[in-house]
A and B are shown apart, each in its own frame.
Chain A
Amino acid sequence: MAVYDYPWRSNLFLECLRDCTQSFPHKLGLYGTLSGLINVRRKEAAAEIVASSAAAFSDALATGNWMDARTALRFLGELANANVVSVSSLAALLKQILDEVSSMTASPARADQFANLVISALPWCAATIRRSAPAELEEIVRRISGHVESRRQAGRHLGLAALRPFRAELAEDGAGLPYEQVDELEAIWRQVSGLADEDWKAQLLHRPHESFDDKLTTASPHDLPAIQIREETPETRYPDQSVPLVIFDDSVNTGERSTTLVSLPPLNSPSRYIFCTLISDLLSILAHNHHALHISIAALPEYLDRARWQLEFWQPTHAAVEVVLREALKLPSPTQPLMFYATALGDLFRDQNMVTEAGPALGRAVRTLWERSALGLDVELSRRLAELLAVHLSNFGYQWTWDRWTEQLRRLPSHSIQVTFVRELVERCLRLAYKERLLDETLPQNWKDEDIAVKVLPQRWESADEGWRYGPKGDVEDERLKELATELVNALRSKKPGTAIKGIFDAIREHIRAKLGHEANEVAHWDGDTQHPSWDADADSVVRDVFAQAVMVVGCKSLSHLAMIVERSRAVWNDLFTSDLARAQLMTSLASFFRFRPQLLEIWCGRLINYRVLSVESILAWSLSPDHLNRTEGADPTPWYVLETTLRKVTLRRSQADERVARARDQVAFNQKRRDVGDGDFVYDENGNKFDGLTGPITSGETAAQREVQEAEEEVERMTREQKQAFLSVLQRFVRIITAKISETSMEDVDIERTPWWRWVYGFMRQIGREFGPEIRTFAKTLEITVFAEGDVDSRIMELWGELSAFYDAKIV
């Protein structure tokens, strides 16, 4: 569109410009210079651009879209560079934003967010402000420094304890971290304040406006319109000032060009900030289109000062790998599903411009994290990394330098975090591949040696039903019982009626009673009663076990089989598994049947909760059983998988109930709308269907809608109660087992905080508290009274609760 078309197409032009600036943050320099050239030819058009860009900034502030606000402010900086916006008005805007930082009424989160906005804009505009108004820049920097200093004094620069990737207290051998762990604001200020050494001119940024300076200066700049910053309300939310994970710190990034595998600017340099912030912005902005994302990342160097990064041998791809992993491993949770980061990472390997650098960089990053995991990496991050890497490897034929781990795997104990990482990685890969592909064709053959195999290779059964205790390979020795069990399986398969199945149950009970009676007679002279209460209990428990396992044999063929068999035998389930004890037993049967198929165990638990056969409580009891945790030092991932899946299920149910209420209320509101328009008029529903207005008596549809609202609200109430009960129970159980362990080890003179048990169990408690924060925080007060009552609970547990409470109190999106 030629500039001559502007008067006729100004809306289109402004929309496109706004969309492009917000979609391609790395091209702001070009858009700024283009606006400058327009300013030379058409001043009124440039005035509209300024108004539109300022509106973009204030819109983003008003809607709490901090990402857009940051980009819009940077663009205003570029407009000042191109002489479209007057420097004084830009400086005034920055100072207006800093007023929010120093405001007495602003919450700490708000102050940090507004400081973040200004710091993020400085690399783009500081040089211009310094040239025209050095005193203004000095004041801005002084005010930011003041804020940062006050945070340091309050200890806030270390970030929320619950969100730190590395936990110093878990470090083995007391080794410290290779870099200082600080929160995001502190980290970026350390980087951006380095601009002072570059005369406030970010060297890495490409400055197209400099090529046109003689032209651009012929036009006169515009003042920014006044921008209203909306006051903080209780609903305002801010992005978390997380503690960013650094992978390639200066100790990894040695700078010896001939030998190093990573080549990036030093950690606390403005150039590193520019690389990382642009890539992380692209990851957020283009998450909806990963193809465009990797094209933009690959093209990023073109929009930076090529001479600069090539001279230093910096590799943008290394920064991309670091940022993708950092974002994926963000606490409390990544912004997008983990799958997005796996895809984004894979794309770096599919892009011909990046593939040669991406491989070594990923290898180096994972090895660095793996080696450092012993320095106290949060357990959740270790698991997330394994999951991410497994998906990545499944896209690239599982090619990995597995061999490099062999020696350490031999040496390290099986419950160490490094071995557990490899075990989880193998397990996750196995779930995506078929067994032979991984175990026979991919992993090093010496991993089949006894000493490594027991640590990392999951035991697998050939077929799902090999866990069948009453089958030919089962561990039950009672032949008659096996026969009856097989009969039951056949009855279930051939859809025999309930009476036939109950007949088999009776036969089993009879057999067990007879057997127990016979044994008792042999051991002692029994008093001759015809029935013995404990034998009945035993007989019932055998019936339950046989039935549960029989259902699993029939249902394990596929999930559809499972659904079918559970539906068909619903009446029997309801008869057999009525008590808590019976349900706990069902969970034990399930876990035993699928002990080498953790994925199926997870899926089955989820399904059986849905069918209300299995209770949440019984799964929690199994997952957090002290015996199992003690036996495996908490390093067996299966109970944690199951626990997480169950809690997610509980949360999902609640959100589904919420949706049902919302739908029902919408329907009632729509009916009311039809009543309001009355006869002869019509309204449209959200799908565009036309409905006539309503008059006369209440219709059955309206009554049904009202009833639905009532029922849905009751369901929400029920689900909320259930959810609260589940989280209360899980935290109670954690407190109980940790307290028991503390008192147990206090006798043995062991520092419990240095044990693997502590790392896993205490770490998972933190993970659950963090992951389900939105749910738990709604009844934090109840928890404080019931579970975390001061004085009753060990100080270390209270410390963790303190961490979590601080996290819940922070106003985080």
Chain B
Amino acid sequence: MRRQGTSFHVRAIAQGVHKPDSHQNTAAIPHTMAAVPSLALPSSYRDRRNRRFNNDAEWQRALSGSTTLYVGNLSFFTSEEQVYELFSKVGEIRRVIMGLDRELRTPCGFCFVEYYTHASALACLQFINGTKLDERIIRTDLDLGFEEGRQFGRGKSGGQVRDEYRNDYDAGRGGYGRQLEFYADAGEAPMGADQYGGVGGWGGGQWGGGGGAEYYRGGERLFVCWQIPTDRMSVKVAVAVAVESDHVISIRQTGVVMGLQENGREMTK
């Protein structure tokens, strides 16, 4: 038996305008089957609050009426008014909460935008996500809603986590990654650091040898920086990690990407 009007369901689900009837409607067609899936869907990112939910379906359901968006990859210099101007183009804004550096209390490149309606939030995912604000491509994602404390960066230095380990130079987000800057401020420089023109405080190289490094210092916060020297124009820096004493960081030379270890546990590759 052909199900009448199923095509409408497929497209309506894909467009994010139609919710499957209920949990009992197990025959609902997943959006991935639609000819063109909608952009008005949350991303696959799960934040720490996901732990409250037993499964993805619950998480999705919690987001299904959300009026709040997380906005990322903003410049540190983007003002609340600029955010307001762009995001109010798809609906009335209830409030904007600028993300702040936990230590400095200055904008650190993200914000939450809360609308009056869920439809406005979806329209934002469809039309604003991936476009530019202040000449940077911004990323938006549905959010469960703002809670006090979430306005602060969760990185070790107070900003966003992604700015900790970033190894490129991004003028809109405070230059190099925080770890790299911290290292630079300490006046310690990795091998080949003298090739940098733009970063102050980097003295001559005190370590010999390129590639892998094993470094250990007990009792204090320690940064190990490692670099693959290439030509002046495209210096690729691989920077690692702050560790809290007592643990040896082992960095293997596997091309530009390295295994980083924090407290002996592998973090990322």
Contact = CB atoms under 8 A, between A and B. Distances in A.
> What are the 6 tightest A-B residue pairs by CB atom distance, in nearest-first order?
A688-B23, A23-B35, A288-B15, A288-B38, A431-B85, A18-B7
Contact of B85 (A56, A343, A599): A599
Interface stretch (B94-102, B191-199, B214-222, B252-260): B94-102
Contacts of B89: 337-339, 342, 387, 391
Q: Which of B11, B36, B133 has the most CB of A within 10 A?
A: B36
Given A59-B4, A59-B5, A394-B133, 18 more contacts: A14-B2, A19-B7, A19-B10, A19-B35, A59-B8, A289-B36, A337-B90, A337-B123, A343-B127, A432-B82, A432-B85, A432-B86, A432-B134, A558-B98, A563-B95, A599-B81, A603-B81, A648-B92
B14 A288 contact: yes
19 contacts: A11-B1, A14-B2, A15-B3, A18-B7, A288-B15, A289-B36, A289-B38, A290-B39, A290-B126, A290-B127, A337-B91, A339-B123, A340-B126, A342-B127, A343-B128, A560-B98, A563-B95, A687-B61, A688-B61
A19 B23 contact: no
A756 interface: no
Interface in B23-51: 23-24, 29, 34-40
Nearest to B24: A684
B111 to A, nearest CB: 11
A559 B80 contact: yes
Contacts of A748: none
B200 to A, nearest CB: 24
Interface in B116-175: 116, 123, 126-128, 131-135
Contacts of B11: 19, 22-23
B7 A22 contact: yes
A22 B9 CA distance: 13
A433 interface: yes
Given A288-B16, A337-B89, A15 B24 contact: no
A670 B88 CA distance: 35
Chain B residues touching A, range: 35 or more
Interface of B: 1-8, 10-11, 14-16, 22-24, 29, 34-40, 61, 77, 79-82, 84-86, 89-92, 95-98, 116, 123, 126-128, 131-135
A286 B92 contact: no
A397 B123 CA distance: 24
A278 B87 CA distance: 30
A395 interface: yes
B132 A394 contact: yes
A686 interface: yes
A560 B89 CA distance: 20
Contacts of A342: 89, 127, 131
Contacts of A346: 131
B25 to A, nearest CB: 10
B81 A55 contact: no
B121 to A, nearest CB: 12
B107 to A, nearest CB: 10
Nearest to B122: A288
Interface in A43-66: 48, 52, 55-56, 59, 63
A66 B90 CA distance: 25
B245 to A, nearest CB: 39
A750 interface: no
A431 B86 CA distance: 9
Contacts of B81: 431, 599-600, 603
Contacts of B8: 59, 63
A395 B61 contact: no
Contacts of A343: 127-128, 131
B184 to A, nearest CB: 27
B132 A15 contact: no
Interface of A: 10-11, 14-16, 18-20, 22-24, 48, 52, 55-56, 59, 63, 286-292, 336-340, 342-343, 346, 387, 391, 394-395, 397, 428, 431-434, 558-560, 563, 599-600, 603, 648-649, 652, 656, 684, 686-688
Contacts of B135: 394, 397
A16 B32 CA distance: 12
Given A288-B14, A339-B127, A684-B24, A15 B39 contact: no
A56 B22 contact: no
A337 B91 CA distance: 9
Contacts of B39: 288-291
A573 to B, nearest CB: 20
A558 B116 contact: no
A426 B61 CA distance: 43
A337 B88 CA distance: 10
Nearest to A338: B89
A791 to B, nearest CB: 40
A687 B53 CA distance: 14
Contacts of B134: 432-434
Contacts of A292: 36
A342 B84 CA distance: 17
Nearest to B14: A288
Contacts of A56: 7
Given A15-B7, A434-B77, A560 B95 contact: yes
A684 B21 CA distance: 12
A367 B127 CA distance: 26
B120 to A, nearest CB: 9
B168 to A, nearest CB: 20
A55 B4 contact: yes
A15 B127 contact: no
B150 to A, nearest CB: 14
Nearest to A649: B92
B38 A395 contact: no
B17 to A, nearest CB: 8
Contacts of B116: 652, 656
Contact of B40 (A19, A24, A288, A428): A288
A175 to B, nearest CB: 34
Contacts of B84: 559, 599, 603
B82 to A, nearest CB: 6
Contacts of B85: 428, 431-432, 599
B36 A52 contact: no
A55 to B, nearest CB: 7
A59 B81 CA distance: 46
B90 A339 contact: yes
A159 B16 CA distance: 34
Given A19-B34, A59-B8, A292-B36, A652 B92 contact: yes
